[in-house]
Amino acid sequence: MKAIIDLGTNTFHLLIANLNGSAIDIIEKVQIPVKIGEGGINNQQISEAAFKRGMQALELFSEVIKKHDLTEIKAFGTSAIRDAENGAKFIQQAVDLGIPIEAISGDAEAQLIYEGVKHSMTMPEQPVLVMDIGGGSVEFIIGMKDQILWKESFKLGAARLIERFHLTNPITTDEVLKLSLFIEESLASLWQSLNLYPASILIGSAGSFETLVEVLEKDLNENCPALSAHAHLVSTKQLNQFCALMKQCNSSERASLKGMASFRVDMIVAAAILMEVVVAKASIRQVISSAYALKEGMLFSMR
């Protein structure tokens, strides 16, 4: 039995599980909306309030972990922690709680995301573009079955975009245009790589892409066919419906949606615009939402 702790910029995740061949037997799963990047992510700081929330979450994780007979604990910090000037202090205090954190690089993060995604479904025979939208960074991977052809991490996470652009509620047409242009210009190396390795299928890993499916099915009465127990097919028309809804709703309207997790209400608009830009610019024809991401990739890599 292993414990995986993913210290994301928006949410801290704890996964306690066993691997049974290619299947994950989940023993316990906890997620806490820490928002560790809030109030400081673009200044390379973990704010005092976010630091405190992070430690409280880790104290809870520590209590949960003590209830289980674990063979290994793996905890990793992503964009907000690895980039923060006081990230080392946060890591040291976590060690004092018995949780040894490794701040992994964006490159390593992308590698693990792909490892997770490829175990969630039978991968297509042609190249695919994998996208993981975090609060601090967005990872893109172009892969072909078991082979990664290209990967890169961009500091374009939803929390960074929200703090940089100070989006109104609901977002205005002018703000959408400015944000979309910024995203498109910032992803120049992605567009170049897609010229080398064309991919018409986008696989979105967990997080906002799970919300995409939940809102489509529970609020827009759309059907997203299951490709496996952990992956669903979404048409580009459905994705555009979702993005239009996210842009027109204010935060209270988004919070009232049946498929919207409360901790995604603030970040989902920037995430939806990221999806929209990538699907349009990359001429994506098919979208797949995978429930597996970084933590599952780490679990499979520990075999």
**What is the percent of the chain where pLDDT is above 90?**
82
Shared domain check, 115 and 211: yes
8: domain range?
2-104
Q: Could you tell me the CA-to-CA distances from 23 to 5, 27, 157, 201, 260 in Å, in that order? A: 19, 13, 30, 24, 27
Sign of CA dihedral 162, 242, 172, 273: positive
Q: What does the pLDDT look like over 180-204, one tens digit per residue?
A: 999 999 999 999 999 999 999 999 9
Shared domain check, 243 and 185: yes
Last residue of a domain, one of 75, 104, 133: 104
Which tokens is 44 given? 């390379």
Mean pLDDT of 96-104: 89
- Which of 67, 87, 82 has the alpha carbon at shortest distance from 16? 67
301 lies in some domain: no
Shared domain check, 37 and 85: yes
Shared domain check, 50 and 162: no
pLDDT tier for residue 94 given thresholds of 50, 70 and 90: very high
Shared domain check, 271 and 137: yes
Q: What is the pLDDT of residue 80?
A: 85
Q: What does the pLDDT look like over 56-79, one tens digit per residue?
A: 999 999 999 999 988 788 999 988
Give pTM, 2 decimals. Answer: 0.94
Residue pair 70/1 in contact (Cβ under 8 Å)? The answer is yes
Shared domain check, 192 and 178: yes
Q: What is the pLDDT of residue 88?
A: 93
In this structure, the number of other CB atoms found within 10 A of the CB of residue 218 comes to: 13
Shared domain check, 276 and 151: yes
Shared domain check, 81 and 28: yes
Give the chain's domain count: 2
